[in-house]
Amino acid sequence: MSKKVVIIGAHAAGVDAASACRKKDRTAEITLITKEPNAGYSRCGLPFVIGGQIPSFDDLIVFSPAYYKMLKLNLKKETQVIKIDKQNKSINSIDKNGATERLDYDKLIICTGASPFLPRIKGYEKKGIMSLRTLEDGRQIDQVVKRGTKTALIMGAGLIGLETGIGLQERGLKVTVVEMLPQILPAMLDLDMAKIVKEMLEQKRLLIFTEKRVEEILGEEKATGVIAGGEQINAEMLISAFGVRANTKLAADAGIALGETRAIKTNLRMETNVNDVFAAGDCAEVPNLITHKPSCSQLGTIAVRQGKVAGTNAGGGYALFEGVLASAVTKLFDTEVGSTGLTVNAAKRIKIETVSGTISSKTRADYFPGAKPIKIKIVVEKESHRIIGAQIIGGEEVTQRINALSFAIQKHMTVRELAKADTAYAPPLCETWEPVVLAAEVALRKLR
C-alpha cells in the first residue's frame, strides 16, 4: 500500500519537500495544500515587480501545473487546513466553496510559513493598511499605484520595507520610511554599516526616519497617516513592514510543541515532538550555527533547504539540517548589501566579546574603468579568533564574497587563516589584494 504524505503549504518549503519526498519514494501519494490561489512562487521577487524590474507578477510563479503533474503531486489550491488530528493521523480541510474533506496521512509536513505582523497600536484596525507577502498583496499595491497614488508610508526599515519603498519610488511615488530602532536593516547590519546604506538611500531621495515608533494610525475609517515619534506623517498609501510571525496555531492546537522563538520546535531531521510530523520553512525553529541557540530566520534559502531535509526524511531517506547563519543579500537601487553570521550587536547581546575589521576598497583594479567601491566588515570572536560574522556594502560582487565568508564561518576558520587566503587577481575583476583578506588583516592587528 502506498505511503500517504500530506504537506500543508505549497511554497518554498512545501514544494521542495514534495520534490525531495518524490525522489525517495516513487509510489507515495503526496498531497500539497495551500490556501492561496497560486502555489510555488517567489515572495522575494514581489518588490521588484512593483518597481518594474520584473514585468509581471505571473513571472514569479516558479512551478507550472506541468511540474506537479510530472511529479504526480496532488495540489489543492484555495484550500485551508483547519485541524490536525495527531491521534488518528489525519487532517481536515475546507475549500473555497465550503466543501470539507478529511485526509489520512502516514507522514505530515507542516510548511505553514509566516504572516505579516501589525502591532496593536491605536488605529491598527483601520482599512487601507497594506502589506507585501503574497501575489495578491502585490497586485493590490500595484492597482493602488495605477490609480494615481502619489505618496506612500512604509512602517519598518527591514529588507522588505526598504525594497518595497524603493519599488514604489521607482514608480514615481514620494516615499517615507519610519523605523522605531536607531538604524535601518537591524537584523543584517551594525550601526556603522547601516549609516552608509541610509545615507545612500537618502541621496536617492528616500525619506527615512529612525528612532520613530509608530504610536497611532490616523484617519476615519481608512488610514491616512500616522503619529510617529510625536510627529504626524500623512500618506495616501500605508504599508506595514513591521515583520512577520510564524503561523503556528494549527500546530499548537494539535499539541505540537513550539520552541523558544514561538516557532515549531524541530530536531536536526526537521521532526517535531509528534511522531511522523515534520515542520519546515518560516514556521520552523532551528539552531543557529554559531550560538547553537534556537532561531527562526525566515529566508527563502533556508526554507528550501529545510523543505528538502523534511521531504527526504518523510520519503524514507535520511538527511540532517544542522542550522543557519541567516546569510542574506539585497540590492537597493545600485548598491548591493549582504551579511552572514552575527553582527557585533547580536554577539554582544549574548555576551560574545568580539573584534571587527573594516576596510574600504574597490571591486576592480583602481585604474580599471568601472571600478566600484566596496566596504567589508568582518566580526571575529575575541577568545577563539574564529570568524563569526560579516557585512558587505558594494557596487558589485557582494553575493559571492558573502557566500565565501559563510563557508569560512561554517568551517570554523580563524581570522589568521583568512588573512593568509590564496585569492585570484585580474584588473577587470578584482584588486591585487582581495578586500576580504584586507579586512581580516585589520581585525588581526586589533587582536595582536
- CA dist., res. 297 & res. 288, Å (int): 9
pLDDT value of residue 356: 98
Q: What are phi and psi of 229, to 5 degrees?
A: 60, 30
Contacts with 329 (C-beta within 8 Å, 6 or more apart), sequence order: 336, 337, 338, 339, 398, 399, 402
Contacts with 158 (C-beta within 8 Å, 6 or more apart), sequence order: 184, 185, 186, 187, 241, 243
Cell triple for 368: 580599471
Cell triple for 17: 519537500
Give all strands (DSSP E) within 180-262, no chain letters: 207-209, 214-218, 225-228, 231-234, 237-240, 244-246
Q: Is the pLDDT of residue 257 over 90?
A: yes
Q: Is the pLDDT of residue 372 over 90?
A: yes
Q: How confident is the model at residue 448 (pLDDT cuts 50, 70, 90)?
A: confident
Q: What is the DSSP string of 65-96?
A: HHHHHHTTEEEE-SEEEEEEETTTTEEEEEET
Question: Which contacts of 86-95 are long-range, i.e. CB under 8 A and separated by 24 or more positions?
Answer: 86/254, 86/255, 86/256, 86/274, 86/277, 89/276, 91/6, 91/8, 91/33, 93/33
pLDDT value of residue 1: 82
- 126-146 pLDDT per residue, tens: 999 999 999 999 999 999 999
CA angle 345, 347, 350 (to 5 degrees): 110
Q: Do residues 20 and 312 lie in contact, with contact meaning Cβ atoms separated by under 8 Å?
A: yes
Positions marked active-site: 44
Q: What are phi and psi of 390, to 5 degrees?
A: -155, 150
- 271-298 pLDDT per residue, tens: 999 999 999 999 999 999 999 999 999 9
pLDDT value of residue 162: 98
| DSSP code for 61 | B
- 51-108 pLDDT per residue, tens: 999 999 999 999 999 999 999 999 999 999 999 999 999 999 999 999 999 999 999 9
CA 285 to chain centre: 14
- CA dist., res. 103 & res. 85, Å (int): 10
Domains of the chain, CATH where assigned: 4-39+61-115+245-314 (3.50.50.60), 129-242 (3.50.50.60), 328-447 (3.30.390.30)
Q: What are phi and psi of 310, to 5 degrees?
A: -60, -45
Cell triple for 226: 500616522
Helix (H, G, I), strand (E, B) or coil at 400: helix
Looking at the DSSP bridge assignments, the partners of residue 102 are 92
What's the burial of 428, exposed, middle or buried (CB within 10 Å: 0-12/13-18/19+)? exposed
Closest-CA residue to 33 (of 103, 86, 136, 89): 103
- CA dist., res. 199 & res. 192, Å (int): 11
Cell triple for 15: 514544494
Q: What are phi and psi of 288, to 5 degrees?
A: -85, 135
Q: How confident is the model at residue 313 (pLDDT cuts 50, 70, 90)?
A: very high
HSE toward the beta carbon, residue 172, CA cutoff 13 A: 8
Cell triple for 70: 510530472
Helix (H, G, I), strand (E, B) or coil at 121: coil
Closest-CA residue to 393 (of 365, 374, 370): 374
- 373-431 pLDDT per residue, tens: 999 999 999 999 999 999 999 999 999 999 999 999 999 999 999 999 999 999 999 99
- 221-236 pLDDT per residue, tens: 999 999 999 999 999 9
Amino acid identity for residue 124 in this structure: Y
Find the mean pLDDT for residues 302-308: 98
